[in-house]
Amino acid sequence: MSVKNVCVIGLGTMGMGAAKSCIRAGLNTYGGDISDKALQELKDAGAVKVSKTPKEFGAELDAVIVLVVNAAQVKTVLFGGEPDCFAASLKKGTPVMVSSTMAAADAKEIAAKLAEYGLPMLDAPVSGGGVKANAGEMTVMASGAKETFETLQPVLDAVAGKVYNIGTEFGLGSSVKIVHQLLAGVHIAVAAEAMAMAKKAGIPLDIMYDVVTNAAGNSWMFENRMAHVLAGDYTPLSAVDIFVKDLGLVTDTAKALHFPIPLASTAYQMFTNASNAGYGRYDDSAVIMTFSGLDLPVNKH
């Protein structure tokens, strides 16, 4: 099966970047989203067709990427309105690359349901943020059948800088992403803690930032997210509530494995506190707001 027509469903930061990368790679690109603005943006970028109800053109597609927020949304996108659902509109054998962050059990359930429609799935969560998504350089951590990887190769070439084949078992890709999100969430939380402590100690934040980014304590998350704090700009590139969700998945996975996660548990509480304080839709660097009494740069959210 040769992939020429690909649809990206979920045109948020990552999905829009992936869709535009497919267009640049010469794939006939379709888009699905509930946002008129996002659909128009993709149409203006060169999409063949866009719709709030992509089952309208399901029969034309050779591959699908689903990049919505969570497993519940994936199930609604694919199976909502059964039997007259999007999955039913696709030709048998059309590979579905599910790239949302979810529990392994959900990935297995969705794969089994797709199989009932004769549709192979790639359990393929992604990372890299909007910058790498727009550049077609996302990191994909995927599991699924060898044949599904091969069929989706033109799509993977378009959207990814690095593709990890974790194995054939559904849920492995999702589990790798959950472990990754454990690290990402803890890194952001501890970066915020460090900068908050520096502020409390009277150290200028720009100096602290410069020291850390040129020393052994640096991390990609510190360098990227604490720049937002310095700018006082909490425009959401990845929101606080995303890490409430993702660290919640980390917690659920750890419980299922009977595995202790003391640092991730603390980070989860910090993000939850920030969300409850009204910062849920702010950039995830706003977790620094959980430290009270700090005179931080002016918030431009």
Residue of 20, 55, 132, 177 marked active site: 177
Question: DSSP letters along the chain, please?
Answer: ----EEEEE--SHHHHHHHHHHHHTT-EEEEE-S-HHHHHHHHHHT-SEEESSGGGGGGG-SEEEE--SSHHHHHHHHHTTTTSSHHHHSPTT--EEE-S---HHHHHHHHHHHHHTT--EEE--EESHHHHHHHT-EEEEEES-HHHHHHTHHHHHHHEEEEEEEESSTTHHHHHHHHHHHHHHHHHHHHHHHHHHHHHTT--HHHHHHHHHTSTT--HHHHHHHHHHHHT----SSBHHHHHHHHHHHHHHHHHHT---HHHHHHHHHHHHHIIIIITTSBGGGGGGGS-S--PSPP--
Rounded-to-integer distance, Cα 19 and Cα 6, Å? 9
The question of whether 177 is a catalytic residue gets the answer yes
User: Residue 64 pairs with which residues in a beta bridge?
Assistant: 7, 96
Phi then psi dihedrals of residue 216, to 5 deg: -70, -20
Task: Tell me the CA distances in angstroms from 171 to 103, 107, 109, 292, one per residue in order.
Answer: 7, 5, 9, 40
User: 16 and 23 in contact (C-beta within 8 Å)?
Assistant: no
Q: Catalytic positions, please? A: 177
